[in-house]
Amino acid sequence: MIEKPTIKELAEFFIRGLSAGIFDTSQVARWADSIIEKEEKPSIEIIEVCLACNRNPSDTISCLREIKGELQPDVSINLMAAYLLKKLMAHEMDHSNAIKLLYKASFDGAFSDLELEIMNLEESWCLVEDGVYGNIEDMKKELEMFLEERREYITHLPIE
């Protein structure tokens, strides 16, 4: 069983999603608003995120980066994988889009084992799409298995 993500980890999830074009600022604003409603004394950083959402995504990302708290490696990437699994299961996204968005949202320069695994998945997907190696059905199954390993994160997603 995974631990509930911290506000900092959820902020990192939104940073990755905004940077990759998966989310827009209105989705971040709804999340920040929900935190403000729940907390008796919300942090100034969360309030700043709310205000920045009326500007452009880069301002919102800057404010999200200012949120203080604990950040465990790979939690935000696992959340992103769970979010993309949810979209794939609901037929709101195809496999090709899911792997490309996961790849785009995963890298921050750290190159963790998880990031390298995603890089290998995306490279294999490209080889299949280009007709160089492998077949699409096997690649779909491999992507689904990777995403399924992160299914338990779905319950912690801060977004529909």
> With contact defined as beta carbons under 8 Å apart, do 118 and 102 qualify?
yes
Confidence (pLDDT) at 1 = 79
Confidence (pLDDT) at 7 = 96
Confidence (pLDDT) at 53 = 87
Confidence (pLDDT) at 108 = 72
How is residue 20 written in tokens? 């990759």
Confidence (pLDDT) at 119 = 93
Below-50 pLDDT ranges, the chain: none
**87-131 per-position pLDDT tens digit:** 999 999 999 999 999 999 997 766 789 999 999 999 999 999 999
Rounded to the nearest angstrom, the gap between the alpha carbon of residue 43 and the centroid of all alpha carbons in its chain is: 23
Q: Exposure of 76 by Cβ count < 10 A (0-12 exposed, 13-18 middle, 19+ buried)?
A: buried
Confidence (pLDDT) at 150 = 96
How is residue 130 written in tokens? 């280009």
| Residue 66 neighbours by CB distance under 10 Å | 14
Confidence (pLDDT) at 101 = 96
Helices marked H in the chain = 7-20, 25-38, 44-52, 57-65, 75-89, 95-106, 113-129, 136-148
* Domain residue ranges of the chain, discontinuous segments joined by +: 7-65, 75-153
CA gap 37, 31 in Å, rounded: 10
Confidence (pLDDT) at 73 = 83
Residue with tokens 């963790």: 112
Confidence (pLDDT) at 111 = 77
Residue with tokens 């205000």: 51
The secondary structure element, H or E, covering residue 92 is none
